[in-house]
Amino acid sequence: MDKERRAYEALLQTVNTRLRSARPADQVHHERQLQFLRDIDSQTPTPPYGIQRAAQLTQLLTEVAGEGQKSANADGESLQLLNLWLQWLHELLHSRRQLLGDETQSLRDWLLQRLTQQNTNDVETLRCLLPLLDALPVGVARAQLPQLAAIPLPSSMEAALLLLLCQDAMLGALTELQPAELQLCSQLASTLLHAHYAGSWLLQASQLSTAGLQEQQTLLVAHSLLVLQKIAALHAEYAQQQAPELLGLALSYMRRLDTSATLQLPHRVQPAQQSLAAYGQDADELQAASSQSNAAAGRRVKSRKMRSLAKQRTEPVQPTTSGAQEERLQQLLLQGSTAASNGDSNSNSDNAAGAQSAGVKQQRQCQVKLRLAALQLLGAVTKQLPRRLLYGYWHALFPSNSAGDADHLLQLGANDGNVRCRALALQLAAQLYYGSKPFLSQANDTTAPSNYTPFALSLASSVLAAYGQLTGILQREFAPPVLTQCLKCLAVLVQATPFDQLQMGFVYEFVPHVKKLARHMDTGVKVSALLVMEMLVATTRLTQEIACAVGLPLSERKAVVERQRHNVRAAPEFEQLCDSEEEAEEEQEEQEQLPNPATQPSIPRNSWLLRLVLRYLDCPGSAAPLRLECLQVILAMATHFALLRDHLGRLAAVLSAALADPSLDVRLYGARCLDAVGFQMARQAQEQQQTEEEQRQLQQHLLFWQRLLQSIYVAYLAASSATLKCALCDALSNMGVWSFERLPQPQRNALLAFLLGCSSDDAADPLVRAAALRALAVYVLQPTLRADLVFVEHAAELALRLIGDPQLAVRIKAAWALGNISDALVAPSLEAKKRQEEKQRQAEKAKQQRQQQQLEEEVELDIELQEVEAEEEQEIEQQQETAQQKKEKQEEEEEEEDHAQLEQEEHISQSLLMRLIEAAVAACSDHDKVRANAVRALGNLLRLLPSAEHELMLRAMSKLLDCVRAAGSAKVKWNACYALGNLVRNRSLFASSGSLAGTLFTTLGQLIVQHANFKVRINATAVLLQIEHRADFGQHYAGMWAALVAATERSNALDTFVEYNHRDGLQQQLCLAMAHMLARARPDDLLTCRQAMESQLEAISGTWRRVAYRILPEQATALFNCGSMLQQRFAANALTGEQRNALTFLVAALRLES
């Protein structure tokens, strides 16, 4: 305010002086200026004022500038007056801008016009323009960007700095650029790049006579980098094209310089061609769909992914204000200034020393701004680069070996004197490591020696050097912001590291420091340290070193994948990582202060991580972020269940407390943790052998759920978040068959009643109802509930309510539940079929034994018949025939008894069955994730449909064929093929509509031969195995046989390596389908079969022989007996010569004895 007053008085005095000496014609102009100044001085910042002031001021400035152009005074009085006006305006905008109002457009236009037409070195004009560009609306910024971008760079350093500040403010108001604006920004950025690489602003030390010039030079370079950073963030194409120049510029200026050193010319960074060749595609292109098997209840266990760091790119790293967190350089400067200010002496030498110290401090602060701007530019450019281009500059961003003498991000994070620079460098390094797992997975230091250094070895050296740098930072650093960013960077690097391909030993270099920092006083540091351990525990393939570091039980370490060829550390050294005596005593004291300390089981000292997280969860004073991270560590431990298996009682206690936590996030992650632990317990129960120790562990599973059920109910009723309720329902769905079947009947009934109530509540969120329905659909398949038709029908009614919900996520879960319910409905018929197939296998086995026995008896009879008369031989044969007839009659009676028992079982009501089929047909037109389960349900339900419902069956088949033919998910197609396999078992389909049968076989033939996905081919081929009668093939027999032959020949041609794992399964299915069709062939089919096989004889015979000797003996019987079966079938038939030749050809082609 004082500056503005002094500028006002100087301007007022000058205007009065000009008024007294002016001619009468000019006095009106000066009086108008005086009146405006008095009005401004007397006004208050109320809304009516200032509406026209900006326009009046613009007019006055125009008149003053015009007067200066007309007058030719040597003393430049008019120019001096204009400068005084601009100086006062600058101070007015900083102190009382509201007096000019919000309509300052005319004033901005006048200032921009003056800069473009008069003089770009006009410092006062630029100073006035800068505050007017703050917080501009987007439309105004777009309109005035061309004018500002067209201003050439001034020759004056101060004017250039102000112009860059104006351009920075203008670009900050824009979120995206139009094509014309992109071109303007490209030209502006190219101008700045040329100035940097030409050294236009890099003055020599002799020219920088004062500290002010040095400061201006540093700030000029820093703000030019900020302008380039904003342009790179808005113009991705320019950033990619000029990446070598921009990265070279950023890397050049992010180095720490002494205060006496001058800035150097930057150098372009050329990409490494080896990295580009090794990583030829983007990460998004490399991420193929994972083929992980679905877990029980249709879910899969997922390890936690690192949170995206994109949100942190623009977040500044705030320095702390506490004394322990101040940077070392600043402490030294403060000590120097304090020493200079103490004492009674005011000598010139003391003043000079103090001024010099203040100047050095100011210059260092400017250099800090320069390095921060360089880091921000580096982050903006790397964000715009595709992954395959970014990895070409990896050698310039990260260390390439363990020497650590190169300038890179981790070196800056380790050695920079400013806390903010170190933290920002490590944050940027973490952002670059995030998503680099496909690239770093190529690192391998186990390659054999060669004459050149392989890329995998170079990359492995870079990874190990990065671990060394980060470990050194953890060892030396004391500032919590830097420690936090270093630990986050280490966590991202751990997630991307292929530990099984690297030499062991480096994990034990950083884990002790992380273990120490996990007990740090700062909560952020503790959370970040636990994040590192979470990522380490979540590693899918544990090495021996990691297993020892995280405390895996000794009994389970033998099961660790033994892939390491270099055991650089002995096992006893690995096992020494455990809690010390002091830490154990401290934990024991805390445990004694907890309620019921005797009930808390002890945990081995080598399981230090589990001890620590349970200790934090038990402590009432732990911060919510710390408790949240502890739960996430337990969630990661669940992937290696041996870490938690023996401590389920303690785990149940902390999870029960987490579900009652005041923090919503803690309760949510407590539910998710319970979900993961429950899934692992259910999977372990399925794999357990019935030993005494395993039975004891399974009993612990039951006690675990019995303790947590009540906590789940209470948490659900107290929850207001739909996400938490869904997570609780998901956790209940993973109880597992063993624990659910052994729950006491009252608790089991209470559980089912709870889920039924949640899914039936019309006032609840549809996502919550869908989650509860999904849990019910899991329990529908339990042995005790599958036969309860009332419960199954109730679940089906709930699924019908939600299958048409507007939300896609709800429909997906409802469709999945409908598929499970349909599985439960057809389960009795499937069990009956299994019993029938088992009886058939036993009958076949008994028949073979009888044949063998008959053969042996015939040999004996041949010897006896030489002495026995013909009448006795006939009597023996009659006795054998009688016994065989009795046996066959007994088998027929048993089969009829099974059918009668199946018919007597309860069936779902016809009206509900029709509604379910209608809902499944409608869902087949929905999203792919809905259709994948809808077609599965439709195939099961059609098996229950009466043969009289021809119209509905034909409509359902038409919908299934549409799903097969339509372009979409492969899962939808193979599920649709499975549904068609259920449909073709009903023979009335082929008798009712020949057109649909023709469409069916045509579609199947195309899928079997041409589809790129082998699993779709397998399921399409399986449909043919469900057709039991030759008449059902009709005229399409030849076409389907030709399709099988062509598909067998093409099965060895792999378009992608992903299908290699399914090739053997496809060939097996094709051979079984060929044997199935030959077993139903008619004499007129033999010529067609031969003609199709002649051109592919070698490929068919080789595949047939390879499959027959590879598959299980029970399945191979059809292939081994195929030739003999053909001869027996057609032995009594009158075949033509061509048919006889075709039969001989087929038998010879499929013979396996040789």
For residues 1106-1128, give the mean pLDDT. Answer: 84
| Rg (alpha carbons) of the chain, rounded to whole number | 41
Residue 447 has pLDDT above 70, yes or no: no
Which is more confidently placed, 396 or 869? 396
- Band the pLDDT of 339: cuts 50, 70, 90: very low
CB 1106 within 8 Å of CB 1067: yes
- When pLDDT is cut at 50, 70 and 90, the band that residue 295 belongs to is very low
DSSP character string of 19-42: HHHS-HHHHHHHHHHHHHHHHHHH
Residue of 1137, 1135, 1114 whose CA lies nearest to 1126: 1135
What sections of 638-691 are H helices per DSSP?
648-659, 664-687
**What pLDDT score was predicted for residue 324?**
33
Q: What is the predicted pLDDT for the residue at 215?
A: 82
Average pLDDT of the chain is 79
Which of 313-317, 378-382, 891-895 is predicted with the least confidence, judged by mean pLDDT? 313-317
Tell me how crowded residue 753 is: count the other CB atoms within 10 A of its CB.
10
pLDDT in tens, 535-592: 999 988 888 888 888 888 776 665 554 544 444 444 434 555 565 555 555 655 555 5
| Separation of alpha carbons 620 and 631, rounded Å | 15
Q: Which of 98, 85, 119 is nearest to 49 (CA)?
A: 98
Q: Summarize the confidence of residues 31-35 as an average pLDDT.
A: 84
Q: What is the model's pLDDT at position 819?
A: 92
Report d(CA 537, CA 546) in Å as an integer: 8
pLDDT at residue 617, as a whole number: 92
Q: What average pLDDT score do residues 394-402 get?
A: 83
User: 826-834: long-range contacts at Cβ-Cβ below 8 A with a sequence spacing of 24 or more?
Assistant: 826/940, 826/943, 826/944, 827/781, 827/786, 828/787, 828/902, 828/905, 829/902, 829/943, 832/898, 832/901, 832/902
992 pLDDT above the threshold of 70: no
At residue 578, the pLDDT reads: 61
Distance separating alpha carbons of residues 841 and 768, to the nearest angstrom: 47
Q: Is the pLDDT of residue 710 over 50?
A: yes
* pLDDT digit string, tens, across residues 714-732: 999 999 999 999 999 999 9
Cα–Cα distances (Å) from 428 to 161, 338, 439, 492, in that order, read: 27, 36, 18, 12
Identity of residue 534: E
Report the C-alpha gap between 591 and 614 in whole angstroms.
Answer: 11
Rounded to whole angstroms, how far apart are CA atoms 358 and 362?
A: 6
Helix (H, G, I), strand (E, B) or coil at 253: helix
Residue among 943, 1022, 929 nearest 978 (CA): 1022
How far apart CA 832 and CA 898 sit, in angstroms, is: 7
- Distance, CA of 332 to CA of 412 (rounded, Å): 20
pLDDT at 284: 44
Q: At residue 290, does pLDDT exceed 50?
A: no
For residue range 474-495, list pLDDT tens digits in order: 999 999 999 999 999 999 999 9
Q: pLDDT category, 423, cuts 50, 70, 90?
A: very high
| pLDDT at position 364 | 84
Residue 47, pLDDT > 90, answer no
Q: What is the pLDDT of residues 592-635, one digit of tens each?
A: 555 554 455 567 777 889 989 999 999 888 999 999 999 999 99
Tell me the per-residue pLDDT of 495-515, one tens digit each, with 9 for 90 and over. 999 998 888 888 989 999 999
The pair of three-digit structure tokens given for residue 503, joined into one six-digit string:
């030499």
Tell me what pLDDT residue 19 has: 78
Kindly tell me if the per-residue pLDDT of 869 is higher than 70. Answer: no
Between 951 and 907, the higher pLDDT residue: 951
Q: Average pLDDT in the 8-18 region?
A: 84
Burial class (CB in 10 A: 0-12, 13-18, 19+), 354: middle
pLDDT of residue 273: 72
Residue with tokens 């094509």: 179
The pLDDT of residue 870: 53
Within a 13 Å sphere around the CA of 175, how many CA atoms are in the beta-carbon half?
A: 4
Q: How high is the pLDDT of residue 905? A: 52
Average pLDDT on 157-184 reads 89
Q: What is the pLDDT of residue 555?
A: 65
pLDDT of residue 1035: 87
Per-residue pLDDT, 382: 94
Does residue 337 have a pLDDT over 50? Answer: no
Residues 247-276 have pLDDT tens digits of 999 998 887 655 555 667 888 988 887 665
Residue 1142 has pLDDT above 70, yes or no: yes
Judged against a pLDDT cut of 80, whether residue 44 lies above it is answered with: no
Token pair belonging to 646: 């023996």
Give the least confident one: 117-121, 321-325, 818-822, 1054-1058.
Answer: 321-325
Higher local confidence (pLDDT), 317 or 1038:
1038
